[in-house]
Structure 1
Amino acid sequence: MPELQQARKRLRVIQGRIASEEKELLAGLKARANAARTTESRLRGSLDDEKGKALGLTLLERQYRELERESKSAAESYELVSKRDTEIEMLGRVQSEDIEILDRATKGRKPVFPPKALLVAVALVSGLTLGALLALGVDVRDNRIRGLLDLERALAGLGLPVLGQLPLLPADARIGVSNLRAQRRQRDLHTLLFPQSLMAERVRGVRTSLGFAAGKDGLRTLVVTSPNSGEGKSSTAVNLAMSFVQAKKRVVLIDADMRRPRLHQVFEPPIGREADGLARVLAGKCTLDEALITGGDVPEGMSLLLCGEIPQNPSELLESPQTRKLLAELGERFDLVVLDTPPVLPVSDPLILARMADGVVVVARCQATTRAGLQRALSTLRRSEANLLGVILNEVDARREEAGYGAGYYSYHADPNAAAPHGSA
């Protein structure tokens, strides 16, 4: 139908116009909305700027108020001070001076304070008193044996005598001060090398004291020990044995320290027999004659029984019946058996040998051994039923001794012009 087609065509034209106008209207509305947003953003930025300025003005206003108050306070203060200054000036002009100088001040000849002489005297007395108290405190806290008087005090309650004092030997520059092994060997052999020295004479005094301490029964087996290591027991034992040899005694010196033996450093064992010694004899691995050393470095009249190889069970070897048997055999063959044993406090070896010996000598080192350590060692030996003969004080500085006879009569240093040694060194 033509009318319907025309109507539809007009409808399509009208709808296209409506769509076109709709698009144009929407585009216009969007443009207006964007313009409104831009305007809103700009206005918001301006508002923030205005708020920041307002806040800044608020802070400035507070500072302004504070400055205004300070300015007003300063103005008031200045006004008061100015007014007071004007009043004082006016009063000074009106009042007349009524002050008269009677005597001019003079400078003192001596200072009134501080009294230097009094302060010096007080400081001197205080320093001396404090020094004396400090020295007394150090002396009371020092428990070492520093001389014969300290040793006698330590032995006062034990009833034991001091057998003698052995001097401190200075290093011999002829063999080199740094050659410690040679210095130690010369000290060990001092009685043999220098028989007219102070050391040899002191050892002879110890030998005489041992003769008195042994009594009528005599002394056949002697144990030499010390409370701790490093106190000179080995050196004392060697020098003491040589002194008995010089007295025409047949002496055997035994290194019974089977933990840290030292006599092999003084007397070198024969080549090939380094392992033979006390340990192997007690273990039945060699005979006594094979282990005894004579001749060579050992002086005439003296025999030496070194430790040899170090055993794993020294205490068990010393407690065995072979030890008593060995000491009995040596006692029949020699006039004196000297045993260099370990220290008393660390190990029990010397307690075992002390019960088998006729006498025990304890060596204390001056300026090293403590009174408590010495008393503890002597008490331990007494509990083991040892025959304690006395104590020897070792390494005493002869220049500090109160008794001047020995230090003045005998040469303190080793005399190179002394009598020739009784054997090779």
Structure 2
Amino acid sequence: MSKASAFSAPKGVPDYVPPQSAEFVAVRDGLVRAAELAGYGHIELPIFEDTGLFARGVGESTDVVSKEMYTFADRGDRSVTLRPEGTAGVMRAVIEHGLDRGQLPVKLRYDGPFFRYERPQAGRYRQLQQVGVEAIGVDDPALDAEVIAVADAGFRSLGLDGFRLEITSLGDDTCRPQYRELLQEFLFRLPLDEQTRQRAEINPLRVLDDKRAAVRELTADAPLMLDHLSDSAKEHFEQVLGHLDALGVPYVVNPRMVRGLDYYTKTTFEFVHDGLGAQSGIGGGGRYDGLMEQLGGQPLSGIGFGLGVDRTLLALAAEGKTVAPPARVDVFGVPMGTEAKARLVVLARQLRADGIRVDLAYGDRGVKGAMKAADRSGARLALVLGDRDITEGTIVVKNLADGSQESVPFDLVGARVGELLVD
């Protein structure tokens, strides 16, 4: 019985260890690959930023800023925050490095951990893993559709199919002020608690996102943004839907959708998987036309998404699917003796240089134990080398699936292994 560790991972922070970590990597890389195919270049963002960036960019009234950020003073007494989302950091980097002065749109992708102090539960972590894209500098409904299609393609490339895309429009500067007044007039007539009333004063849309059943019942008849769009915002939304139809991306219009961040305008969307229970969102995003100017940059538009790697893993599990190869290596070396091990170590390096995944038995385990390790590795082939083989200048190549084997001259083993793995 192994001794328990004196330490454990922080609450709400998942570990990914083999073999599940291979599936984590496959999901992340599959989502990233869909963005790569659409021309999104990689950007590496800081894990923490000036707290003001998120307070201004994400919105003071959001739960993210008011309740969920990991904020602390560094040794220089500067307030910094572990990044809760990616868009504000990307916009800061685009402005700081002048990317908005070049070819537009600026198309960027990123991946990594993000941090929110939430109540841990299935699918809701305090360190969450995401893949995101941002397309900045062009207000084009076709670009909105491309961003959404990239996310859809990423999920489908993993074999996920039990999800749906929900989409709406949150209007623009020509209609949101009037709608805000209309919504506030409706909300202020309701018997809201003091905290909810304060939220209605700051950002009334956020009240429609309240998860409490009592508040949802009170707001069931609230006016909806889709019914009060300006002509330009309505035309923009209709064109986005038209492009999605042409691309074959299915969707459901959800007029009550409210995203959790303040910067969204016009096109807003979420991917939902009902197999995850309460935490059903596996990704989402939208357009944020005023964010760059708000952060001190040019008045350029943008649209992006964030897709949850953790939740995509859970969605795949809910569908009974896996995406990672079951084997961690292709070939496993079984040395019988010190000289044999020395030779297999060198051979393993040569095979790895050819792109073949190789491991071998270390320590003083016998042949039986080494062959068990080979079986557990999931390798297709075992390379068995003993004193007699060294004398004859050969090595035994064993097919671990059917038990067949052959002796191959040592200088030809690399070519033969390559042939067998292709078959």
Which TM-score applies when normalising by structure 2? 0.25
Higher relative contact order by CA 8 Å / sep ≥ 6: 1 or 2? 1
Q: Which has the higher helix share?
A: 1
